[in-house]
Amino acid sequence: MRREFRIDLESYKENQLRRRIDSFMQKYQAEDYSTFIKLLKTKQNVYEAFLNHLTINVSEFFRDPKKFDELERIHLPELLNRKKDLKIWSAACSIGAEPFSVAIILHEIGSGGNHRILGTDVDKNILRRASLGKFSGDALKNVSKHRIKKYFTPDSKSYQINDSIRKKVTFRHHDLLQDKYDTGFDLIMCRNVNIYFTREAQDRVNSQFARSLNPGGILFIGASEMIFNYNRLGLTKISHGFYRKTAN
C-alpha cells in the first residue's frame, strides 16, 4: 500500500484496520491481498471507497457540545483578545461540520476579523462533500433552532449551509501521516482520528501539531482522547480536551 498508493497503513491500529480491510475485501469479493491491490489499482472508485472505509467518517456540528461551549465562552474569546485575525485548522474534518461549527461561532463573536479556517482530510470524496455544505438532519442535532434558522436553508431531505458561512472555510487534501504540516495556527482541532492511529503515530502527529501552533495557540482534541506527554511537546493542559502551546 505504501509503495503503490503512498498510504501509511502501519500507523493505524492493527486489529481495527484488519477488521476494516477484511470486511472491505469481502464486500468486493477480493480473495487475497494481491487481488485486492490489483482491484484498487485498476478501479479508482473502489480505491476511493477504500479510503472512505479506512476510518469512520461520522461527524456532526458542535460534537461534544460542552467542549464547544467551552471553546466559545473561554478559549476563542481569549485568542481574540490577543489577535484580531485567527488562523484555524480542523484536521481530519470529514464532512466539514467541525470547521463550519467554528465558522458559526466566529461569525457571532469574531468581531469582524479576517479569520482563515482550513479543513483538511485524507479522503478526497469527503472533502468534495464538505465543500458543498449540505448536511443531513442528524449532523445538526446539536445546533440550536435559532442557528439552524439563521445559517441553514432546508430542502426536502437536507440542510444547505448558507454561503456566508460556507465561504469562510477552505478545504484541502492533507494526510496527517505523510504530508508536511503548515505553521502559524492559533487553534488546531484534531478530533476522533488519532484514536485510529498507533501510539507512535499519535505522538508524531501531536508533536507536529505542537510545532504548527503559534505560542499561546490551542490544540483541541476529542473527548475520548488524551495527550500523555504534553509537557515534552511544549504544551500545557488547560482542561480535558484543550492544550495550550507554551509561550516562548
Ligand X SMILES: C[S@@+](CC[C@H](N)C(=O)[O-])C[C@H]1O[C@@H](n2cnc3c(N)ncnc32)[C@H](O)[C@@H]1O
- Contact residues toward ligand X (CB under 6 A) are 54-59, 63, 92-94, 98, 121-123, 126, 175-177, 191-193, 222
Q: How far is CA 85 from the centre of its chain?
A: 21
Q: Which residue is nearest to ligand X (CB)?
A: 59
**Least Cβ distance, residue 81 to ligand X (angstroms):** 26
- Closer of 6 and 38 to ligand X (Cβ): 6
What's the maximum distance between 2 C-alpha atoms anywhere in the chain?
Answer: 58
- Closer of 56 and 247 to ligand X (Cβ): 56
* Grid coordinates of 147: 442557528
- Closer of 110 and 222 to ligand X (Cβ): 222
**Least Cβ distance, residue 122 to ligand X (angstroms):** 4
**Least Cβ distance, residue 189 to ligand X (angstroms):** 7
**Least Cβ distance, residue 7 to ligand X (angstroms):** 8
Q: 187 phi and psi, to 5 degrees?
A: -145, 130
- Closer of 46 and 83 to ligand X (Cβ): 46
- Closer of 57 and 246 to ligand X (Cβ): 57
Give the whole-angstrom CA distance, residue 156 versus residue 164: 22
- Closer of 147 and 191 to ligand X (Cβ): 191
**Least Cβ distance, residue 248 to ligand X (angstroms):** 28
**Least Cβ distance, residue 223 to ligand X (angstroms):** 9
Give the whole-angstrom CA distance, residue 180 versus residue 208: 9
**Rama region for 62: left / alpha / beta (φ>0; ψ in -120 to 50; rest):** left
- For 219, other C-beta atoms within 10 Å of its C-beta total 26
**Least Cβ distance, residue 112 to ligand X (angstroms):** 27
- Closer of 20 and 116 to ligand X (Cβ): 20
Nearest-CA neighbor of 9 among 171, 188, 196?
A: 196
Q: How far is CA 242 from the centre of its chain?
A: 15
Give the whole-angstrom CA distance, residue 100 versus residue 106: 10
Measured between its terminal Cα atoms, the distance across the chain in Å is 40
Rounded to 5°, angle at Cα 76 from 73 and 77: 70
